[in-house]
């Protein structure tokens, strides 16, 4: 009888010829099916036995397997075995990458080539034997693997084979040990009295690992004390060091910035009589873009003026080297880590009201429907007429007032540009940004959604128009351009999104016919519904990440053929490069792009893409930790929430009011055998009949909030409407008390 492998289909029965004669060779498809059904590697002997082949047929079988390997339908496994492609062998060297929220180490196989072998498998390591230290990220071990389905494996350590220890450890010092601030790193570190460096309990410290020992916690030596946990700015301090954000400017860069002086009008177009205004948030820290509009026949004339950073930051200077290294500014609730020193970022490159400032500007003309008829770039000197806020501009528009004489015209031009955007069919993921409000001591007062106004969209439309003009102008001039590119979603992500949307009876066109307006239509279908935010977030996760590069592939999300960042060189290095290219192409000065810079565009594009993602991760990390600090005052309280993630180790819930997110451990759910249905994004209990699905409304009680890591733990409450027996109509009720003991996971 054929063996039925765990989690796979039954193997096809062995074939025998009537009368006991020699069986025919299996076809390639027969072999593929057999390999897929086998739980691990198989050898020629097992294949021959299964298909009833004789020893005389071994050479033909060998050639058949060779052909399967050549076409990628079979993968070598061990010395003589084969397995289905993408399947891991029973024993392999793996590298630990972190831990799941249940505390178990997660690992990946070494040498895996995603482009050839498909999606990277996930390996969930079993706890180490008693007396052995926990596996830490970066460690490599020889592990025995067992497939558990869905490209996932369970691993058991056979032998530790070393691996790179972290270059530094960031954590909280507590009486002879360091507790990591990264929630993925569960392994603590031991600190001998002579290696504490004077650190006191509760201090945030940087440490370096020391030669290890066989048993117990691994040793480390503290090399820097950063402050006390709970003090003002301690959270952003953790995020700065955890993500490697450069914080201290070299002295030569600071001196260059401090030597900067006001620009003169010589060689510049004088815009000082045009009432350009800056419009930013109330808590904005820099002002580098100003706008103005007036009627132009039946259409509009618009000017966007940007601080002339290229005048102050010259290629090859200390300022330039530091700006390149940082790539961008990083914004935290309590501070900003700027790309440029304060003498520029808050001084000569900040468009303060009433003060002359150098600028690069683009003058654009649009018809009544928002179609651009012309544009021109120039280098000028301007004087901001007012520093306005989004809230003030919105209030003036709603009240029919215009205190500066510009608001009415700005909104008129905005409505024209908005009409053009609607015709183009862009993807507008209008997700609420979370705002952290702090008191004067740096403690969290509240975390709340930041209101999104038409005044925000007005500035966005003006900036998008200016960015498009910059890309078009550089192409016209034959100059290198650092494009902002955004590819269409991958087929794999689209398939996952389609499965998710099926739960809401929403369909997407096939990948080769997809347009951003198709995603916009999905968002329209869920507008005002309980699942609106969840669908927005899921559609966002399905998108490719935007990037910088000199090769143009267009911007899928904005439905634009060409796009470049021009409007914020004070905080993005990409924009500074675009300014320099315009200066060179239009012959606006001697401080334009140099050939050596242009030659490095591919490498620079990759670098600033990574620094941007590093900044985004640090900013997101900070908000999560501030949220945990705020929620730590509300442990034990019950919150209206939604299930925002379904995994093999439990659920994730997100609080409706402020976006706080945390795990609901599997062990806190009713005692059952819980099965994860990846296609339906559901977790189902075989005995209780309860099913939890993505997007369902629940009541969740906060049981733990840890500002040190940003982690939160919730338990679901009795009477939750989202947990209902499978097949039941109406709403069910979860059991009042969680079951006790270990939970089985599938």
pLDDT(719) > 50? no
CB under 8 Å to 3, separation ≥6 — which residues?
Answer: 11
Q: What is the pLDDT of residues 391-431, one digit of tens each?
A: 999 999 999 888 778 899 999 999 999 999 999 988 877 66
Bridge partners of residue 290, in order along the sequence = 305
Q: Is 487 helix (H, G, I), strand (E, B) or coil?
A: coil
pLDDT(72) > 70? no
Question: Residue 623 belongs to what H/E stretch?
Answer: helix 601-631
Contact of 674 with 743, CB cutoff 8 Å = yes
Q: Mean of the pLDDT values across residues 162-166?
A: 60
Q: Mean of the pLDDT values across residues 541-554?
A: 92
Q: What is the pLDDT of residues 324-345, one digit of tens each?
A: 999 999 999 989 999 999 999 9
Q: At what angle do helices 318-326 and 251-258 cross, to 10 degrees?
A: 120
Contact of 172 with 229, CB cutoff 8 Å = yes
Q: Mean of the pLDDT values across residues 196-222?
A: 84
Quote the CA–CA distance of 429 and 456 in Å, as a whole number: 14
Tell me the backbone φ, ψ of residue 433, rounded to 5 degrees: -80, 140
Query: How many residues can be counted in the chain?
Result: 746
- Mean of per-residue pLDDT scores for the chain: 84
pLDDT at 276: 97
Set out the domains of the chain in order of their start, with CATH numbers.
Answer: 28-83 (1.10.10), 91-160 (2.40.50.140), 169-229 (no CATH), 261-485+559-617 (no CATH), 491-543 (no CATH), 634-716 (2.40.50.140)
pLDDT at 101: 59
Q: Mean of the pLDDT values across residues 304-328?
A: 96
> Do strands 661-665 and 673-677 pair parallel, antiparallel, or not at all (unpaired)?
unpaired
How many CB atoms are closer than 10 A to CB 456? 17
Q: Which two tokens stand for residue 124?
A: 């969930």
Q: Which two tokens stand for residue 194?
A: 């002579």
Quote the CA–CA distance of 690 and 721 in Å, as a whole number: 11
Contact of 139 with 163, CB cutoff 8 Å = yes
How many CB atoms are closer than 10 A to CB 273? 8
Task: Quote the radius of gyration of the chain (alpha carbons, Å).
Answer: 30
| pTM, two decimal places | 0.74
pLDDT at 728: 35
Instruction: Measure Cα distances from 603 to 320, 324, 583, 596, 726 in Å.
Output: 16, 11, 22, 12, 53
pLDDT at 722: 43
pLDDT(710) > 70? yes
Instruction: Measure Cα distances from 370 to 278, 320, 366, 414, 458 in Å.
Output: 22, 37, 5, 8, 13
Q: Which of 21-35, 117-131, 170-184, 413-427 has the highest mean pLDDT?
A: 413-427
pLDDT at 539: 87
pLDDT(720) > 80? no
More confident residue, 724 or 232: 232
Residue with tokens 């530790």: 160
Instruction: Measure Cα distances from 701 to 225, 643, 646 in Å.
Output: 36, 13, 18
In degrees, rounded to 5, the angle at the alpha carbon of residue 622 between the alpha carbons of residues 483 and 190 is: 120
Residue with tokens 């629940």: 698
Q: Is 168 helix (H, G, I), strand (E, B) or coil?
A: coil
Quote the CA–CA distance of 449 and 655 in Å, as a whole number: 12
Among 264, 435, 460, 289, smallest CA distance to 360 is for 289
For CA atoms 259, 262, 267, 269, give the dihedral sign.
Answer: positive
In degrees, rounded to 5, the angle at the alpha carbon of residue 389 between the alpha carbons of residues 383 and 394 is: 120
Instruction: Measure Cα distances from 53 to 19, 23, 57, 60, 73 in Å.
Output: 14, 6, 6, 10, 21
Quote the CA–CA distance of 170 and 466 in Å, as a whole number: 42
pLDDT at 165: 57
pLDDT(25) > 90? no
Q: What is the 3-state secondary structure (H, E, C) of 716-743?
A: ECCCCCCCEECCCCCCCCCCCCCCCCCC
Quote the CA–CA distance of 559 and 575 in Å, as a whole number: 21
Q: Is 157 helix (H, G, I), strand (E, B) or coil?
A: strand
Contact of 345 with 339, CB cutoff 8 Å = yes
> Do strands 203-209 and 218-228 pair parallel, antiparallel, or not at all (unpaired)?
antiparallel
Q: What is the pLDDT of residues 225-261, one digit of tens each?
A: 888 887 778 899 899 988 889 988 999 999 999 999 9
Instruction: Measure Cα distances from 266 to 212, 359, 392 in Å.
Output: 66, 13, 35
Q: What percent of the chain shows pLDDT beyond 90?
A: 46
Band (492; pLDDT cuts 50, 70, 90): confident
DSSP 8-state secondary structure symbol assigned to residue 119: S
Among 381, 428, 119, 398, smallest CA distance to 264 is for 381
Q: Which two tokens stand for residue 69?
A: 């390997």
DSSP 8-state secondary structure symbol assigned to residue 344: I
For CA atoms 633, 635, 636, 641, give the dihedral sign.
Answer: positive
pLDDT at 665: 92
Q: What is the pLDDT of residues 107-160, one digit of tens each?
A: 888 877 655 566 678 898 888 887 677 777 777 888 988 888 767 888 999 888
pLDDT at 175: 86
Band (212; pLDDT cuts 50, 70, 90): low
pLDDT at 740: 30
């Amino acid at each position: 009888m054929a063996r039925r492998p765990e989690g796979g289909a039954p193997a096809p029965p062995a074939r025998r010829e009537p009368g006991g004669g020699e069986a025919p060779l299996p076809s390639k498809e027969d072999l593929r099916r057999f390999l897929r059904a086998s739980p691990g590697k198989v050898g020629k002997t097992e294949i021959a036995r299964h298909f009833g082949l004789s020893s005389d047929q071994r050479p033909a079988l060998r050639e058949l397997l060779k052909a399967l390997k050549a076409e990628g339908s079979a993968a070598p496994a061990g010395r003589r075995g084969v397995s289905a492609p993408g399947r891991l062998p029973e024993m392999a060297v793996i590298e630990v990458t972190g831990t799941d929220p249940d505390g178990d180490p997660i690992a990946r196989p070494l040498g895996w080539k995603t482009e050839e072998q498909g999606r990277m498998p996930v390996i969930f390591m079993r706890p180490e034997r008693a007396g052995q230290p926990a596996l830490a990220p970066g460690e490599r071990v020889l592990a025995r693997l067992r497939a558990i389905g869905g490209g996932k494996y369970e691993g058991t350590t056979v032998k530790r084979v070393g691996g790179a220890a972290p270059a530094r450890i960031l954590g909280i010092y507590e009486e002879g040990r360091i507790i990591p601030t990264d929630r993925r790193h569960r392994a603590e570190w031991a600190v001998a009295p002579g290696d504490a460096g004077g650190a006191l309990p509760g201090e945030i410290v940087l440490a370096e690992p020391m030669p290890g020992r066989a048993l117990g916690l691994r040793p480390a030596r503290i090399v820097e004390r950063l402050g006390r946990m709970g003090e003002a700015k301690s959270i952003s301090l953790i995020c700065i060091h955890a993500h490697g954000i450069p914080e201290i400017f070299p002295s030569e860069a600071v001196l260059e910035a401090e030597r900067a002086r006001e620009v003169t009008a010589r060689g510049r177009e004088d815009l000082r009589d045009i009432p350009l205004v800056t419009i930013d948030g109330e808590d904005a820290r820099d002002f580098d873009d100003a706008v103005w509009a007036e009627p132009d026949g039946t259409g509009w004339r618009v000017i966007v003026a940007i601080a002339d950073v290229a005048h102050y930051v010259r290629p090859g200077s200390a300022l330039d080297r530091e700006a390149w290294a940082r790539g961008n500014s990083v914004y935290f609730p309590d501070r900003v880590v700027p790309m440029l020193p304060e003498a520029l970022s808050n001084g000569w490159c900040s468009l303060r009201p009433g003060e002359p400032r150098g600028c690069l500007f683009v003058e654009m003309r649009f018809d009544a429907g928002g179609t651009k008829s012309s544009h021109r770039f120039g280098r000028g000197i301007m004087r901001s007429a007012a520093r306005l806020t989004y809230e003030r501009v919105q209030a003036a528009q709603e009240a029919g007032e215009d205190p500066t004489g510009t608001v009415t015209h700005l909104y008129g031009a905005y409505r024209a540009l908005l009409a053009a955007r609607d015709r183009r069919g862009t993807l507008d993921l209008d997700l609420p940004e979370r705002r952290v409000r702090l008191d004067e001591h740096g403690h969290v007062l509240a975390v709340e959604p930041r209101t999104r106004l038409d005044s925000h969209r007005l500035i966005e439309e003006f900036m998008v128009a200016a960015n498009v003009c910059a890309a078009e102008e550089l192409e016209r001039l034959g100059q290198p351009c650092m494009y902002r590119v955004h590819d269409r979603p991958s087929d794999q992500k689209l398939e996952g999104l389609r499965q998710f949307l099926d739960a809401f009876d929403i369909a997407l066109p096939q990948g080769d016919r997809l347009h951003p307006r198709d995603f916009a239509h999905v968002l329209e279908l869920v507008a005002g519904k309980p699942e609106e935010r969840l669908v927005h977030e899921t559609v966002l996760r399905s998108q490719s990440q935007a990037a910088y590069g000199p090769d143009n592939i267009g911007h899928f999300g904005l439905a634009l053929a060409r796009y470049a960042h021009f409007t914020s060189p004070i905080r993005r290095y990409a924009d500074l490069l675009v300014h320099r290219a315009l200066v060179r192409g239009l012959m606006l000065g001697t401080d334009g792009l140099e050939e050596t810079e242009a030659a490095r565009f591919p490498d620079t594009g990759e670098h600033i893409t990574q620094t941007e993602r590093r900044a985004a991760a640090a900013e997101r990390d900070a908000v999560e930790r501030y949220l945990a600090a705020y929620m730590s005052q509300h442990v034990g309280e019950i919150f209206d929430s939604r299930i925002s993630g379904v995994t093999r180790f439990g659920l994730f819930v997100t609080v409706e009011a402020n976006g706080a997110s945390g795990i609901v451990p599997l062990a806190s759910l009713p005692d059952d055998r819980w099965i994860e249905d990846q296609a339906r994004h559901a977790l189902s209990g075989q005995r209780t009949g309860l099913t939890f699905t993505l997007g369902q409304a629940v009541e969740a009680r906060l049981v733990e909030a840890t500002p040190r890591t940003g982690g939160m733990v919730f338990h679901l409450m009795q009477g939750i409407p989202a947990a209902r027996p499978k097949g039941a109509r109406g709403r069910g009720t979860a059991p009042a008390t969680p079951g006790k003991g270990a939970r089985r996971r599938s």
